[in-house]
Amino acid sequence: MVRTKDNSLENKTKIATEKLIMAARKLVQSATPTEALEIWKFVKTQQLKRIPGLTAEQIQTLIETQAKEMGAEYILTELSSTKHQGKETDPPAFADEMMPTVAAVNMSSNESVTNTSENGAKPKTGIASSKSR
């Protein structure tokens, strides 16, 4: 298969997006259960914010309900027992960028919504890559 070079903005955007997605997947795969739950809650919160008409309270309720359905209480129980044993660990380096909220929901690949915040602006997101050379 012969690949042609396409230097269009659309192609460059697609390539950059694919790289970001791959980096994010690597980070999630190496996350602890608690980190994975926090990442999931953040991503799901962002998805739900794109749905017109949902209030912050409704979003939080949906996330908490779906997290319970997925078994998040087991992760939270493990986290609280670890804290009581004095084994609390530092948050991941990317936690500040990825976690303004703590909530959880089923991330389905067939969910599709537009990405805007309450004021119509695209939200800022960032993922730190731990790629070593």
Q: Where are the domains of the chain?
A: 33-98
Question: Count of CB atoms within 10 A of residue 48's CB?
Answer: 20
How much of the chain exceeds pLDDT 90, in percent?
41
Identify whether the C-beta of residue 70 lies closer than 8 Å to the C-beta of residue 104.
yes
Return d(Cα 68, Cα 71) in angstroms, integer: 5
On whether the pTM is more than 0.85, the answer is no
Q: Is the pLDDT of residue 16 over 50?
A: yes
Residue 94 — very low, low, confident or very high, per pLDDT cuts 50/70/90? very low
Could you tell me which residue, 64 or 78, shows the higher pLDDT? 64
Residue 99 makes CB contacts below 8 A (sequence gap 6+) with 38, 39, 41, 42
Identify whether the C-beta of residue 104 lies closer than 8 Å to the C-beta of residue 67.
yes
Shortest CA distance to 36 belongs to which of 111, 95, 97? 95
pLDDT of residue 85: 60
Identify whether the C-beta of residue 105 lies closer than 8 Å to the C-beta of residue 67.
yes
